[in-house]
Structure 1
Amino acid sequence: MFARRTPLPRPLLALFTAGYLAPYLLPTVVGRLESGLPLTATEAGAVGSALLLSSASAGFLLASRVERIGARTLARTGLALAALGYGGAALAGDVPAVVAGAILGGFGSGTATTVAATRIAAEPDPHRTSTLGLLWVSAVAGVVYLTVPHLGAGHGQPLAAIALASLAVWPLTGRLPGRTASAARRRERAALPHLRAGLVLAAAMPCWSLVQNSLWGVSGRIGLTQAGLSEAAVGAVFAVALGAGLMGVLGARALGARLGRAVPIGAGTVLIAGCVVASASATGPVSFTTGEIAWNVLYPVVLSYLIGLAASLDPRGRWAVLVGAAGSLGTAAGPLTGSVLSAWAGFPVMGLVLGAALLVVAVPMTGVALHAGGRLVLTGAVRQPAVELIEVDVPAVSAPDAYDTAGPRQAGASPGSGN
């Protein structure tokens, strides 16, 4: 049988957007911190890293506690912290206050992302939901990139935009579920399924994310100093690139599970490595714009499949959150890594180093995707490529292991996000 297509989970998509907006706006946040405060490029990158590290810590702390605390309560707490932290940082003029606000806001973003990832893992089609979430956050970030350059100088505008987005999402959280303590306690005692595959993916994700955000964190400076663009022009390039990313996400959504996950993750990561080298080596408007657009088309495509892969490993969302938090560690180190590498060896050499790292990490990630999308090994498993899987009660098999991990729904099926 084919499952009916479920309505769009708008509260989850909005929460996903609020959680992911800070990483998407990282170049303008870091650039504005450098230009608007007495900070060097490396110091501004370190503040960006601290923000993202705080976000990652929320994922590790809360991965198994969403059901016990309640998705609604945790989401509202995260959004409140994000609004307070980013809003306070936007209004503050002292560096310590800005750093403290960014760290508090980062924890709020991470909390929102944790709830979104856990709930997406319970959706019938994780890949569909995560791609829609990436569409939303790309669209919102594109609008911010087009708007911020026209709002004057200073560090506060992009931070204020994240705070306002968090406040705007708050009313939608009423539709999220509350606390389910008894069920949560039973589920928390259950062992993580697919332990080896999950650990390999969690170990690889920091490197993958670090490369993306090392370049993303200094892309603004590449455009300004090496490609010779103005701030408004760089913002326009980012907006166009994110718009092109929307097309990539739409393509990933349309493609679905037709190619499995190994090909999009493996081949996509190799292509991203080439884009990283090209963007970092850009010396003019055309080469910079081309590199950024190509990269931003591919990045959300691969990310959507990685989110779905992590979600497929555990229908309760624990691997989705843990892998996402592990990726956030790399994301957190990205701005500082990019700043240090570019200061030490220049942007082109930085691009070569980052591209080589991506080629190396593509191997274990593709291996996990192949393993998770392999042949059926359990009697009674149901596999329907490119369509939703329907849960079937199989007496001698527990729900999380009753399905093959291929297709839009896997290993008991769930969504991941991110987010």
Structure 2
Amino acid sequence: MSSRTRRSGALVALVALFTAGYLAPYLLPTVVGRLSAGLDLTPTRAGLVGSVLLLGSSTAGFTLAARGERIAPRRAARAGLLAMAVGYGSAAATGLVPLVVAGAVLGGLGSGTATAVAVAGIAGRRDPQRASTLGLLSVSATAGALYLTLPHVGGGHAPPLLAIACAAALVWPVTSRLPASPRGARETTAASGPLPHRRAGAVLAGGILCWSLAQNALWGVSGRIGLTQAGLSEVTVGAVFAAALGAGLAGVTAAGALGPRLGRAVPIGAGTVAIAGCVLLSSTARDLATFATGEILWNAVYPVVLSYLLGLAASLDPRGRWAVTVGAASSLGVACGPATGSLLSAGAGYPAMGLTLCTLLLLVAAPMTAVARHAHASTAGLTVTAVRVRSSARRPTRASFGLARPSDRG
């Protein structure tokens, strides 16, 4: 098998793994809404269950960020997918709230593991932003199809959880294309040196935590805004979400076509400001037109900015350590989102919640933009050094969970 074929196969596996890992956050509104209706939970308690699920995901990400180079990618990916299938499947099979929560936690751990392996592998690619874009396209298309399908499947909390479990099972076969051993990653450790760009990475991790929290606080209650405040049916809300994710596909495609032409600072800064306005619009919606406009515009811009943020994190360390850490910080923000949104909306109402989240997004736009501006020059020097090291290497090694090859990052 040629090296080109191996690289292509690894990319397919990474995109599939990324899709499975990110599917739970993308389906969060319908998961939380159905937990509330199917298990007779209050909106706040349903939001807490969603937060617990995603907290498991972030926990797995932080754990693998610290120990990633000692873990075989194929084994870690399969363990994550197995945990997803068993956890979400068991949560769907029971109506007992404690068992549902336990299954959601196990599934969340699996989602975080799958995402961490995928993100670390993507960071080791020659063009990590392109690989991230492919992953976002895949998960947006999958989630959009599910939003169109799930309202017609039946009520209860089981269908969205079963969909995530089935996605994990379907991705399992492609994990054979991932490296079976972390040996290459260990060989790279000595040459790679200490963790670079510590200050920029820490600022980016903190910023994306707040960035994800603000957006997922609204995303977690968007279904309830559409159903209660805007007075729409579940089928209509599902159609709006599907259209919104379709707009996300268009946005990510445009981001992939633009690539680095605009740099990263402009898309991250201007995109976050635009998202803040969309959050405010969606939270105040009282009819279909306003609700659909806010959700569609928001979801068109969100994955674009996320793709640049993931590319920025990957550029800070080719071994993928900052990519996994920033991804885990994002998952932590996502995890806190449903509970935050539920508590704010219950205490102050949806419009006041939207204003609070809009303000938070505007505050974090500045430091993340600053990291993007200053990281470009410093990572350019790091890239030159890495090329020299690779050119003098006697034989190829693999970095970031054993997924990057020197020929991948030329």
Do the two structures share a fold, i.e. TM-score over 0.5?
yes
Offset, 1:205: 1.2
Compared CA separation, residues 275 and 379, structure 1 to 2 (3 A): closer
Find the partner of 1:55 among 57, 65, 75: 57
Q: Which residue of 1 aligns with 2:263?
A: 260
Compared CA separation, residues 256 and 378, structure 1 to 2 (3 A): closer
CA contact (8 A) 2:73 2:182 kept: no
Structure 2 unmatched ranges of 5 or more:
393-406
Cα distance in 1 for partners of 2:371, 2:291 equals 33
Q: Which residue of 1 aligns with 2:276?
A: 273
Find the partner of 2:137 among 135, 139, 150: 135
Map 1:192-207; keep pairs closer than 5 Å: 192-207=195-210
Q: Which residue of 2 aligns with 1:334?
A: 337
Find the partner of 2:234 among 222, 231, 234: 231
1:22-61 per-position Cα deviation (integer Å, ceiling 9, x unaligned): 0000000000000000311000000000000100000111
Cα distance in 2 for partners of 1:121, 1:221 equals 36
Offset, 1:394: 8.5
Offset, 1:374: 2.8
Map 1:63-142; keep pairs closer than 5 Å: 63-142=65-144
CA contact (8 A) 1:200 1:368 kept: yes
CA contact (8 A) 1:121 1:414 kept: no
- State whether structure 2 residue 349 is matched by structure 1 residue 353: no
Offset, 1:391: 3.1
CA contact (8 A) 2:216 2:338 kept: yes
Cα distance in 1 for partners of 2:274, 2:159 equals 33
Offset, 1:142: 0.7
Q: Which residue of 1 aligns with 2:147?
A: 145
Cα distance in 1 for partners of 2:357, 2:155 equals 31
Q: Secondary structure at the match of 1:63?
A: helix
Structure 1 unmatched ranges of 5 or more:
383-389, 397-411
Compared CA separation, residues 345 and 187, structure 1 to 2 (3 A): same
1:301-332 per-position Cα deviation (integer Å, ceiling 9, x unaligned): 00000000000001010000001101111110
Q: Secondary structure at the match of 1:17?
A: helix
Compared CA separation, residues 234 and 366, structure 1 to 2 (3 A): same
1:148-188 per-position Cα deviation (integer Å, ceiling 9, x unaligned): 11111100000000000000000000000011337427628
CA contact (8 A) 1:126 1:414 kept: no
Compared CA separation, residues 315 and 278, structure 1 to 2 (3 A): same
Deviates more, 1:363-372 or 1:67-76: 67-76
Cα distance in 1 for partners of 2:220, 2:15 equals 25
Q: Which residue of 2 aligns with 1:166?
A: 168
- State whether structure 2 residue 387 is matched by structure 1 residue 391: yes
Quick one: which amino acid aligns to residue 322 of structure 2? W
Larger helix percent: 2
Q: Which residue of 2 aligns with 1:296?
A: 299
Quick one: which amino acid aligns to residue 59 of structure 2? S
Cα distance in 1 for partners of 2:341, 2:408 equals 36
Quick one: which amino acid aligns to residue 250 of structure 1? T
CA contact (8 A) 2:316 2:379 kept: no
Kindly tell me the number of residue pairs found equivalent between the two proteins.
Answer: 392
1:236-291 per-position Cα deviation (integer Å, ceiling 9, x unaligned): 10001001100000000001000100000000000000000001011100110010
1:305-364 per-position Cα deviation (integer Å, ceiling 9, x unaligned): 000000000101000000110111111000000001011111111111100000000011
Cα distance in 2 for partners of 1:313, 1:375 equals 9
Q: Which residue of 2 aligns with 1:386?
A: none
Q: Secondary structure at the match of 1:258?
A: helix
Cα distance in 2 for partners of 1:93, 1:45 equals 17
Offset, 1:204: 1.0
Q: Which residue of 2 aligns with 1:221?
A: 224
Offset, 1:96: 0.3
Cα distance in 1 for partners of 2:167, 2:332 equals 23
Offset, 1:7: 3.7
CA contact (8 A) 1:68 1:185 kept: no
CA contact (8 A) 1:198 1:310 kept: yes
Quick one: which amino acid aligns to residue 184 of structure 1? R
* Alignment RMSD: 2.5
Identity %: 63
Compared CA separation, residues 375 and 107, structure 1 to 2 (3 A): closer
Quick one: which amino acid aligns to residue 103 of structure 2? G
